[in-house]
Amino acid sequence: MTRRVVCPGSFDPVTVGHLDIIRRAAALFDEVVVAILHNPSKSGTFTIEQRIDFIEGASADLANVRVAAFGGQLIVDVCRKLEATAILKGLRSESDYAYEVPMALMNRQLSGIETLFIQGDAASGHISSSLVKEISGLGGEISGMVPDPVRDALYARRAGA
C-alpha cells in the first residue's frame, strides 16, 4: 500500500519553510502531494500556474513529490480523491497550533483523516508568505527566505509597481 500524504496550503508563494516541511514529508512517506487549495473567487498574488511552477522547480530533486491545485474544495474531499493516508503540516509557533488544531479536529470529524504535525527547521520558523511579500513590497531583502525564482518574481512585481 502506498503511503501518500497531502501537504496542503495556499503557497502564495512557497517559502523555504514550506520546502523544509515538504522535504521532511518526502523522507517519511512513499508519496507527497503538495495540494494548493485556493478560492476560485480570489485572485491571490501569484496565479495557480506560477505557484505550481515555483514548487515544482524547488522540489525537482524529490522524485516522490508532486504538485496539484484544487479550487473550491474541502481538503478532506481532496484527500479522498487522492487516497491519502494523512494530512501533514508544519508547526512554527503556538499561534500556528491554535489555528491548526480546530481544522485538524474538524477534518477528522468530517472524514476520519488524521492530521500530522512536524517541526520545521527553527531557522525558517519565522518565515511566512505574507511577511515575505510585505518585506519585498517595501523594498527589503528576501534572499534565502524563498526560492530564487520566487524572489525574482516578487522583485519584478516591486519594480513594476
Binding residues (CB under 6 A) for ligand PNS: these are 8-10, 37, 74-75, 103, 106-107
In the annotation, is 24 catalytic? no
In the annotation, is 89 catalytic? no
Q: How far apart are CA 79 and CA 41, in angstroms?
A: 22
The number of beta carbons lying within 10 Å of the beta carbon of residue 25 is 25
In the annotation, is 18 catalytic? yes
Q: How far is the CB of 16 from ligand PNS (least distance, A)?
A: 15
Nearer to ligand PNS, 6 or 154 (CB): 6
In the annotation, is 38 catalytic? no
Cell of 84: 491519502
Output Rg (C-alpha) for the chain, integer angstroms: 16
Active-site choice (59, 124, 129, 136): 129
Cell of 21: 516541511
Say if CB 90 and CB 9 are below 8 A apart.
no
Active-site choice (92, 124, 133, 151): 92
Q: How far is the CB of 22 from ligand PNS (least distance, A)?
A: 13
The residue nearest ligand PNS at its CB is: 9
Give the CA count within 13 Å in the CB-facing half-sphere of 108. 11
The number of beta carbons lying within 10 Å of the beta carbon of residue 53 is 16
Active-site choice (18, 51, 133, 151): 18
Q: How far is the CB of 8 from ligand PNS (least distance, A)?
A: 4
Q: How far is the CB of 41 from ligand PNS (least distance, A)?
A: 13
| Sheet arrangement for strand 65-71 | 65-71, 31-38, 4-9, 86-91, 114-119
Nearer to ligand PNS, 37 or 52 (CB): 37
Question: Which residues have a catalytic role annotated?
Answer: 18, 42, 92, 129
